[in-house]
A and B are shown apart, each in its own frame.
Chain A
């Protein structure tokens, strides 16, 4: 860690502090005119990145941004929102004025708080592991350059070309509102997201040989750079080794093969399944129990109750599979709001679908015994159960199969079965009689993660995989996933992708 990093305290000046975020609301509300309530949603983030290609750095940047969305709800009940990234009084006041003008564009329901409203219970944020790393925020430009050098050197020594991307990020979000303040009994209102900050780091590299036909990839992500930094040489070496091994690939006939999916490939393939476990407003229980929607965990309409049933309680995948998350798990690092269902959640237990994510209102109807009202976020971050079979053992016990590094460009074809298509990338090898015999040209697969998880033969040790956030300042989505050997995996055509 550089000297600059050691100087960074708990409150990094590159992102807004909790006090600063609260002050923004008070300032905005003081500027409000015409009555009503004011709310702000604040996101501030810093990102340091370095990109390299053909063994040379091509981009290095430090970026930061602040996004403040001001909501003005007037007495007429309409709401306007405007986003700004400048916090001086003039800019903030202009945003407030613009939000008020926008609120008048709408035709609102008319009035608010008609009748009696009871006091809001004092919801407290469930405990979660701290997901802030000084090592991550301290990774300044010089250190990043050294990391890139260490990643490039082994490839260059072999006469290969290394390309890669390194990113470190710190972010904070908060939402505050003046609405219903007189009804609060706790620190936060129902409409608020308490201040939360986190860090995120990722590093990945692709190594190609001079012919462009050999390719190896390795990558890792975590909130804590130290967990990646200690693996840099390993990642670089793995990418080089895979590049060497994937040269001169041969074309195989498409068909059904036994596959050994490395953890990254497993994570890539089951992404669609994990997101269907649901998140508030996204394809969770509300979709599975909606007769007008298609969902892989929808069971069918029950005439006796008049309800659409989901597959909760039913076995959906191999009994060796358990998918869960625990906010206190230091390796997962999830962000929890005060309206989240507290505690660990097991989504799939021994192959049985136990829970689906749901939003606030569904939580009320379900009345699942948890006090208070809450939402249950889906598998944003998750840990998948592992086994004790090593990769070497999987290979040794395979008469004929394929070893897959990872998948890319995956698209879901059918919502009910999650039948998907995508490509193998960066290393595909044929296994014959317990040995890796040759590199294979990449395939397009057409397969469902649900089918694959029902054809499991062996499972290895679960390890963290590369699963970075998908947007600037976005939420963490860590995953810990094992390698899996599965039978009858469908490859439908050869592709030229390397």
Chain B
């Protein structure tokens, strides 16, 4: 960041004189203008890190210009998973070219620690051979009997040429490099670990789904050929994905096949869902259990897939139908239940607290696309809304959150507010200690699912019969993949209901 700090001191009277002389331009109001090009002098950059930083700045500057031109806030629209296929702006390519020319970074001399910075830069300017050489140098450093290091390195390479590629992905190149590297790994279990990464690490682009599925099938076939050689052998000191000791090669194959199905077999799961939620849940749990080598009951740390969704409780209901409100989730309706958490977020002045989460935009898009979808926001009191604390009551807090939901277009969502149970530490500490709400308790399913409701967003998709079809955890706004998953499942549930009638 440039600073304009000057130590030059001007006596007071000179200040006044200078001010009068220099005050020739009339001061006007704000006006839009064309941002000047502020690219730094790349010729002064000498290291790979500086070049990588320069690329980042140029890319962000392009985003800023785009925003000022279009005023489209990309935070509120889904990720464009196909955007990775577009060629990079010429400004980015030229920045990298100029920087790498100035810097003394060379494929043979740069430290292997900087491989993940240098390789993408080479890809950006089309020096694919140099990028490959850097990658192969990295792989040469891998401890072949260290499964974790191996998995990490393989995943990084596949991501470099796939999902995280700075240029249109060349997944086949990544595969080629890893398959060549595979020849150096004698241990069957480590080869299994590499195959697992080859299957699960590809591209999120929906347009490439079939291509990725075919690719994964090829890798699976390769592994099966190897398996045939090792068939029946009990592998010593075996620790597989779940850390279990003593797996056989058959078990590893079954695990790999299950993982393939989990990643690329969504059609068969969707077919199950078209039959019933119970069939879908059974298929998902069984396949996941095989892929992760844990019991089906432990699906995703106890996520309640296929369980009956408890009736939601609340002290205050806003936006519901009926007086008193009907029971939610409503029978005969597809529901998306969102356990809303206020987020303490430090914006530049460190005092902003946002109750109105960014994640509401995902829900709004789903709400617009599926008018028949019930969205229920499950909230609990925290005693303030943003910076408003004085005179706060549960009713007022609910009304303010209601205004927040309406302001982002979720006016059809139903809000249920519960007064937070808890207790306060004695003075002078005075901190609040949460106790679980009735909804927390009920949706933990006798403790089988932790939920972490207070600090984590959770969104549950519930079918018309009240069974849980899908759980989105953590940042439910994160990634277009999650929104797409919800949308596909909602569509199937609605079609299923139509087919019944």
Contacts and interface: CB of A to CB of B under 8 A. Distances in A.
Report whether chain A binds chain B. yes
Interface of A: 13-14, 27, 29-35, 64-65, 71, 73-76, 78-90, 93-95, 98, 101-102, 104-107, 109-112, 114-121, 179, 190-191, 289, 305-307, 309-310, 312-313, 339, 354-355, 359-361, 364-369, 371-373
A118 to B, nearest CB: 5
Contacts of B383: 364, 367
A82 B2 contact: yes
Nearest to A35: B30
A64 to B, nearest CB: 8
B499 interface: no
Interface string B391-427: 0000000001001101110000000000000001111
A367 B430 contact: yes
Contacts of A354: 428
B392 to A, nearest CB: 10
B429 A360 contact: no
B301 interface: no
B389 A373 contact: yes
Contacts of A83: 3-5
Closest 10 CB pairs of A and B: A115-B356, A116-B407, A88-B19, A110-B75, A111-B73, A116-B403, A191-B349, A116-B404, A312-B428, A371-B390
A105 B347 contact: no
B344 interface: yes
B2 A101 contact: yes
Contacts of A87: 15, 19
B33 A33 contact: yes
A121 B6 contact: no
B408 A359 contact: no
Given A33-B32, A89-B22, A102 B2 contact: yes
A351 to B, nearest CB: 14
Interface string B1-32: 11111111110100100110011010111111
A337 B40 CA distance: 40
B35 A104 contact: yes
A284 to B, nearest CB: 13
A344 B238 CA distance: 67
A8 to B, nearest CB: 14
A172 to B, nearest CB: 15
B353 A90 contact: no
Contact of B389 (A76, A104, A364): A364
Nearest to A93: B25
Contact of B27 (A81, A89, A360): A89
Interface of B: 1-10, 12, 15, 18-19, 22-23, 25, 27-33, 35-36, 38, 56-57, 60-61, 63-64, 67-68, 71, 73-76, 344, 346-351, 353-354, 356, 358, 360, 383-390, 400, 403-404, 406-408, 424-433
Contact of A360 (B64, B73, B350): B350
A367 B19 contact: no
A114 B408 contact: yes
A365 B431 contact: yes
Contacts of B385: 118
Given A86-B10, A305-B433, A361-B350, 12 more contacts: A27-B27, A83-B3, A89-B27, A104-B35, A105-B1, A114-B76, A118-B385, A307-B433, A312-B429, A339-B351, A364-B383, A367-B389
Contacts of B389: 364, 367, 371-373
Highest count of chain A CB atoms <10 Å: which of B28, B71, B347, B433: B347
Contacts of A366: 429-431
Contact of A110 (B73, B348, B387): B73
A13 B13 CA distance: 11
Nearest to A94: B4
Nearest to A37: B348
B431 A307 contact: yes
Contacts of A88: 15, 18-19, 22-23
B347 A112 contact: yes
B432 A367 contact: yes
B432 A365 contact: yes
A121 B390 contact: yes
B387 A368 contact: no
B22 A90 contact: yes
A111 B4 contact: no
B133 to A, nearest CB: 30
B404 A115 contact: yes
Contacts of A339: 351
B55 to A, nearest CB: 12
Given A87-B15, A105-B1, A121-B387, A115 B351 contact: no
A116 B402 CA distance: 9
A141 B387 CA distance: 49
Nearest to A29: B30
B143 to A, nearest CB: 31
B19 A89 contact: yes
Contacts of B5: 83-85
Contacts of A361: 344, 346, 350-351, 353
Contacts of A29: 30
A82 B38 contact: no
Given A88-B15, A110-B75, A112-B347, A98 B356 contact: no
B431 A109 contact: no
A253 B60 CA distance: 66
A325 B57 CA distance: 48
A110 B74 contact: yes
Nearest to B7: A85
B6 A84 contact: yes
B344 A30 contact: no
A79 B347 CA distance: 10
Contacts of A371: 389-390
B388 A76 contact: no
Contacts of A75: 67-68, 71
A346 B9 CA distance: 43
Contacts of A107: 56, 60, 63
Contact of A98 (B4, B67, B347, B400): B4
A312 B425 CA distance: 11
A33 B353 CA distance: 28
Highest count of chain A CB atoms <10 Å: which of B1, B344, B349, B353: B349
B4 A368 contact: no
